Structure 1
Amino acid sequence: MPGARLTQEERRLIAAGLTAGLGYGEIARQLARPTSTVTREIARNGGPSGYRADNAQRATVRRSRRSKAAAPRVPEGSASTGDGRDPAAVEEYATQLAELLAQLGMPRMVGRVLACLYVTDCGSLTAAELVQRLGVSPASVSKAIGYLEGQELLRREREDGDRRERYVVDDDIWYRAMLASAQRNTVLAEFTRNGADLLGTATPAGTRMAEASAFLDLAGTDIVRAVQRRRRQQGSGEVVPPESDA
């Protein structure tokens, strides 16, 4: 049961649980499902405020049809990876990851390219391989690659004697992404600080700007410290315990 697709009735129970204000864990326990299954289901179908059971069911049917239609795009010999993994399940996970990234604000095609790269063991693919796996145009892949390069989420490399470029995601992709986020917070903090000076900190608008600036500045500093601490601990092999709010 835990590995099976959600039924329409289960989706209705999820919707009812959200309406009742239940947490994801409680909804998952009622369905005897992993919390991660419920979390992904809600994230890819409108989030907690926009989730609708019937819409989610129709979207699942559409994705299933697209997956069947896309079957010929899977390279020959990939039906069995030899490592015990189910290629169809890996492909579905990549789709879910791309959907989640889109929910979080990343352009949809960019998320698809990043997810496709991220679930490969080698972490690298050529443009042609991305076009084949995703079933999209080379121009779409090229545009997504440009975006990801601009965010420092991948790099290009070319092996000796090979004219084809490969696009690579490193193991520290999220480290760099979080640092980029901290830098954006710093820029926004400075801008809102200027707004506070312009409006006057004695005015409600100026106070609002000043508070926003202080928060963004602190958030950026905390992000940088957290990722650097994680980096140091990984380099030393130290086991990193989960952070406590206590």
Structure 2
Amino acid sequence: MPGGRLTYQDRQRIEQALADGTGYAEIARRLGRPTSTVSREVARNGGSRGYRALAAHRATAHRARRTGPVARPPVEQTTGYGRDPAAVAAFEQRFVAMMVQSGFPRMTARVLVSLFVSDSGALTAADLVARLRVSPASISKSIAFLERIGFVARQRTPGHRRDRYAVDDGLWYRAWSLRVHVFRTWADAAADGAAVLGPQTPAGDRLQLMGEFFGLVVRDVERITADWQAFLSARGRSPQPTTVPTPQPAAVPTPGVAR
């Protein structure tokens, strides 16, 4: 809460904002804190270029020498498999940054990365709200986008009322299958346009080349999909994909560019 101690999640948000080049005043506004709180926090924990959330959290706990328990990072980052929580947190930030550079909205990228790095591969909306410290509406919007492009599957656990959102072995099949549908539609539309305009005209020739290109893409994606199913089968995984959602052409981005 404003005026209270900074939590580990607050410090993670500060670290990410600094990496994005955000100023202290804007960071403070996002956290609901005075600007002086943020500037002091950064200054005594490595400065704007050297600030690291985990190191700052540990250093603050050491300085305070509290007798009570210190708020800790999320359990999934600190326990199991002997992981280094600092390395996990740094990887998450790199992964999110890569997705943002590829065209994903930042909130959507954070949701998808959270699913990727969870060992279960599935989280409820409430889990994501608590983990990312954002509003339910932000999670809902991101999940809706990820479902549309086939990156997330909705699951209902028997006996539970809440849906879980999962990444699984069928993720890449679903995502590529949606794109095959879109690319095939573009190829057919281009071929139709070339016939209408005349393949010997400049416009018709342009459309004919477009149709031939996307026809090649469709065949390539189909080949990759078959190879992937064979790979899963060889690994003892089921090659049968989960249901591919009906594509919405206006909502399905081209590869590497999410809207």
Q: Counterpart in 2 of 1:219?
A: 217
Cα distance in 1 for residues equivalent to 2:49 and 2:184: 40
Distance 2:92 2:53 in 1: 12
CA contact (8 A) 1:126 1:166 kept: yes
> How far apart, in 2, do the equivalents of 1:210 and 1:67 lie?
54
Give the counterpart of 2:128 among 111, 127, 130. Answer: 130
Per the alignment, residue 102 of structure 1 pairs with: 100
User: Which residues of structure 1 form unaligned runs of 5+?
Assistant: 1-54, 239-246
Specify every segment of 5 or more residues in structure 2 that has no aligned partner in the other structure, as ranges.
1-17, 23-46, 58-70, 237-259
Using the TM superposition, give the Cα deviation of residue 96 of structure 1 relative to its aligned residue in structure 2, in angstroms: 1.9
Match of 1:207 in 2: 205
Are 2:180 and 1:182 aligned?
Answer: yes
Q: Deviations over 1:41-76 (max 9, x none)?
A: xxxxxxxxxxxxxx97957x86976946x976833x
* Amino acid in the other structure paired with 2:86: A
- For the residue of structure 1 that corresponds to 2:78, the secondary structure is coil
Q: Does the 8 A contact of 1:196 with 1:205 survive in 2? A: yes
CA contact (8 A) 1:193 1:209 kept: yes
Q: Which has the higher helix share?
A: 1
Aligned to 2:139: 141
Could you tell me how far 1:102 is from its partner in structure 2?
Answer: 2.2
Shift of 1:154: 1.5
Q: 2:231 maps to what in 1?
A: 233
- Give the Cα–Cα distance (whole angstroms) in 2 for the partners of residues 64 and 188 of structure 1: 48
The equivalent of 1:27 in structure 2 is none
- The aligned length equals 182
Cα deviation code 1:104-126 (max 9, x no counterpart): 22232222211110111110111
Moved >4 Å (runs of 4+): 55-59, 61-68, 70-73
Cα distance, 1:213 vs. partner?
0.6
Aligned to 2:189: 191
Pair 133,66 (structure 1): closer, same or farther in 2 beyond 3 Å: farther
Give the structure 1 partner of residue 13 of structure 2: none
- Indicate the residue corresponding to 2:73 in structure 1: 74
CA RMSD of aligned residues (A): 3.0
Worse-matched range after superposition: 100-109 or 166-175: 100-109
* Bigger Rg, structure 1 or 2: 2
- Please state how far the C-alpha of 1:233 moved relative to its aligned partner: 2.9
Deviation at 1:179, TM superposition (A): 2.0
CA distance in 2, matches of 1:64, 1:113: 26
- 8 A Cα contact 2:152 2:167, kept in partner: yes
Cα–Cα, structure 1 residues 89 and 153, in superposed 2: closer, same or farther, change >3 Å? same
TM-score, normalised to structure 1's length?
0.64
Classify the secondary structure of the residue corresponding to 1:161.
coil
The CA distance in 1 between the partners of 2:121 and 2:227, in whole Å, is 25
- How far off is 1:192 after superposition? 1.7
Structure 1 letter corresponding to 2:172: W
Matches within 5 A, 1:34-73: 58=21, 67=53
Residue type of the alignment partner of 1:235 = S
1:155 aligns with 2:153: yes
Q: Which has the higher contact order (CA 8 A, sep 6+)?
A: 2
TM-score normalised over the length of structure 2: 0.61
